[in-house]
Amino acid sequence: MAREEVKKEMRREQETREEMKKEMPREEKMAREGTGIALSALSALVTTLTVVLLCTLLAAGGMLLLTSVYQSTLITEEGDVLVLTKGNFDEALKSHPDLLVEFYAPWCGHCKELAPEFSEAARTLKAEGSDIRLGTVDVTAETELAREYGVRRFPTVVFFKGGEKESRKEYFGATRAHGIVAWLKKRTGPAVATLADVEQAETMIADDVAVIGFFKDAESEDAKAFVRAAEAVDDDDIPFGMTSDDALYSKFEVSVDSVVLFKTFDERRNTFDGELTVDNLLAFVKAKQLPLVTEFSRQNVTKIFGGEFKSHVFMIMSKTATDFEDKMEQFKKAAEGFKGKIPFVFMDTDVMTNDHEIIIKKIFGLKKEQCPAVRLLTHDMTEYRPENEAITADNIVQFCMLFAEGKLEPHLLSEDVHPSIHPSSTAYP
């Protein structure tokens, strides 16, 4: 009996062992599965942390990128002049639709001369509360922008009206601040300013040339013709004003409706006489706006060469010469018969700027000891010389008449001449 009980106990023990053997793989499997779950959880955690880290880095990079973009489009100012780059140019046009831009090279002498006048014009407009702004582009740093706008010489000045790139106009106007301001105001505002008092009129005629229409009725046909002429005149440096004020009529001794051209030289004023039409007014302004003889300088070079005139007569000599006054008197006397047809220009050999050297030495091929001399130059750089070099009114008149009649042969230099008489013709590489 005891033996049977022992056997039974042994069988139970054996069965237990067998069961334990069967259970062991299942526990190992469960352990492995638990380990897998733990590893998966760990992997998910790592992935999550990685994503978070990447997002953080991307956010930081994005901020840096946004900061970089912001900095590239930021428009800074120097002396009230906008500093323009490829990155902020479009934004500048959006923010300031009427924008005058100078493309310059830091080493260019003409650019250096223009810089203070450009800044002064910018300050004047800003002080007046004008929406017109001025900006500069350093072409040595912004070569792509310079090429986009076809910059080939320095300085190149371009006016953008209404923020439109397509309607841009290259500026060939005055190089002094007041002339730049007058040009911009005319381009962006009415062609004719209304003069309400004597002070306004006196300020306007302080310029080299100004034209004032005296009309009691601003809606008259003559007044309308005056406005149309002001809109059509080529010289943007000439301000036009109109008044009906009795005080101005009295101040300037005007008794009837008329047009008066005021100037700071020669006879000081010219009153229009004739049928008041647009063409007649334009011809009047063209004939009277220049002095009998204009002295060549950097400041008035555009006025000399920028108009419709296709030829110019030059007298080249030293102002300190003992016979200067006599020869200038003869030159002016000859100029009287060609006023409004051929401009007469004086060049002082004692003032040898780069522009003087280009014209006197390279174009005319003259040395200082060969002066005084008279020369005629056409817009296509063709030079003519008088047969008689003596500077007398009769000789100069005959010389100009022969040219006008096509009876003169051009003089050709053996050496190459400068490609342009315009002073801002420094080539863009």
Residue-level pLDDT, tens digit, the chain, 429 residues: 444 554 455 555 455 445 444 444 444 444 445 545 444 554 555 455 444 544 554 455 544 443 344 445 688 999 899 999 999 999 999 999 999 999 999 999 889 999 999 999 999 999 999 999 999 999 999 999 999 998 988 899 999 988 888 768 888 777 889 889 988 887 888 889 999 999 999 999 987 899 999 999 999 999 999 999 998 886 667 889 999 999 999 999 999 999 999 999 888 999 999 999 999 999 899 878 888 898 988 767 767 776 667 899 999 999 999 999 999 999 999 999 998 789 999 999 998 787 888 888 888 988 888 999 999 998 888 899 999 999 999 999 999 999 999 999 998 754 444 434 444 443 333
Whether residue 238 is found in the same domain as residue 352: no
Q: Which of 17, 49, 72 is the endpoint of a domain? A: 72
Q: Can you give the residue range of the structural domain that contains 168? A: 77-180
Whether residue 93 is found in the same domain as residue 160: yes
Report how far residue 93's alpha carbon sits from residue 70's, in angstroms, rounded to the nearest whole number.
Answer: 16
C-alpha distance from residue 17 to each of 28, 74, 388 (Å): 17, 84, 141
Q: Which of 149, 180, 211 is the endpoint of a domain? A: 180
Q: Which of 257, 288, 319 is the endpoint of a domain? A: 288
Residue 293 has φ and ψ, to the nearest 5°, of -130, 125
Report how far residue 286's alpha carbon sits from residue 339's, in angstroms, rounded to the nearest whole number.
Answer: 9
Which parts of 215-325 are beta strand (E)?
240-243, 258-263, 269-271, 293-295, 311-317
Whether residue 409 is found in the same domain as residue 299: yes
Classify residue 70 as exposed, middle or buried by CB count within 10 Å of its CB (0-12, 13-18, 19+).
exposed
Specify if 335 maps to a domain: yes
- Model-level pTM? 0.54
Whether residue 320 is found in the same domain as residue 225: no
Specify if 92 maps to a domain: yes
Report how far residue 273's alpha carbon sits from residue 261's, in angstroms, rounded to the nearest whole number.
Answer: 11
The shares of helix, strand and coil residues in the chain, as percent rounded to the nearest 5, are 45, 15, 35
Nearest to 376 by CA among 347, 407, 350, 399: 399
Instruction: Tell me the CATH number at 154.
Output: 3.40.30.10
Specify if 343 maps to a domain: yes
Domain count of the chain? 4
Please count the other Cβ atoms lying within 10 Å of the Cβ belonging to residue 111. Answer: 22
Specify if 425 maps to a domain: no
Report how far residue 178's alpha carbon sits from residue 214's, in angstroms, rounded to the nearest whole number.
Answer: 24
Whether residue 93 is found in the same domain as residue 108: yes
> Would you name the residues annotated as active-site residues?
108-111
Whether residue 278 is found in the same domain as residue 312: no
Whether residue 390 is found in the same domain as residue 316: yes
Q: Are 377 and 383 in contact (CB under 8 A)?
A: yes
Task: Please give the pLDDT value at position 85.
Answer: 95
Handedness of CA 246, 252, 256, 262 (dihedral sign): negative
Cis peptide before 155 (omega within 30 of 0): yes
